[in-house]
Amino acid sequence: MALLNILKYPDERLHIVAKPVAEIDNRIKTLVTDMFETMYEAKGIGLAATQVNVHERVVVMDLSEERNEPRVFINPQITHKDGETTYEEGCLSVPGIYDTVTRAERVTVEALDENGQKFTLEADGLLAICIQHELDHLMGKVFIEHLSQLKQNRIKTKLKKRAKHDL
């Protein structure tokens, strides 16, 4: 098990579109384990492989308070969206920034689990939001790209100032 480095926006590698996982082998299983460890350490609820500079379609999440409901999505695809809702989102790749994003209220996702078993999940509420947020990462999109250009520019400026200050 190893902690992975989480890419920070505006790192261009966050915009690379992830490729499908060809085979769920020990490398992918280790990646899943390391992603969970990294996500838990960072106090997140979801993490896409893109965020740790692995450009394959792998997502982990755990929305439980006890951190005992891990979910793995390999090669996930949203097959249905319904309704509309807004939610204040944050992101491990955009630390300290939160803003309201409009997304589908309910989604159906098809994916493989860590053992290669296909499953279908109907989700609503925070789980639906998290699925859409993480699958955006796999498509090379960060949540702030759902915001107005003005808000995006303000966030970029704030993050650049913060990065200079941290040096």
CATH number at residue 40: 3.90.45.10
In a domain? residue 40: yes
pLDDT score of 167:
66
Catalytic, out of 56, 89, 114, 134:
134
Identify whether 1 is part of a domain: no
* Binding residue numbers for Fe cation: 91, 133, 137
CB-based contacts of 28: which residues, under 8 Å, 6+ apart? Answer: 21, 56, 58, 74, 114
Tell me how many domains the chain contains.
1
Domain membership of residue 121 (yes or no) is: yes
* 145 is annotated as an active-site residue: no
Tell me, yes or no, whether 67 lies in a domain.
yes
Contacts 24+ apart (CB under 8 A), 70-75: 70/36, 72/32, 72/113, 72/114, 73/109, 73/111, 73/112, 73/113, 73/131, 73/134, 74/21, 74/24, 74/28, 74/111, 74/112, 74/113, 74/114, 74/116, 75/20, 75/21, 75/111, 75/112
Residue 59 burial by CB count (10 A; 0-12/13-18/19+): exposed, middle or buried?
buried
Non-local CB neighbours of 21 within 8 Å, separated by 6+ positions: 28, 56, 57, 58, 74, 75, 112
Is residue 107 in some structural domain?
yes
The verdict on residue 46 lying in a domain is yes
* Residue 6 in domain: no
5 part of a folded domain: no
* Distance in angstroms (rounded) separating the CA atoms of residues 86 and 80: 18
The size of the chain, in residues, is 167
Residuewise pLDDT in 10s, the chain (167 residues): 789 999 999 899 999 999 999 999 999 999 999 999 999 999 999 999 999 999 999 999 999 999 999 999 999 999 999 999 999 999 999 999 999 999 999 999 999 999 999 999 999 999 999 999 999 999 999 999 999 999 999 998 888 888 777 76
Quote the domain boundaries for residue 152. 12-166
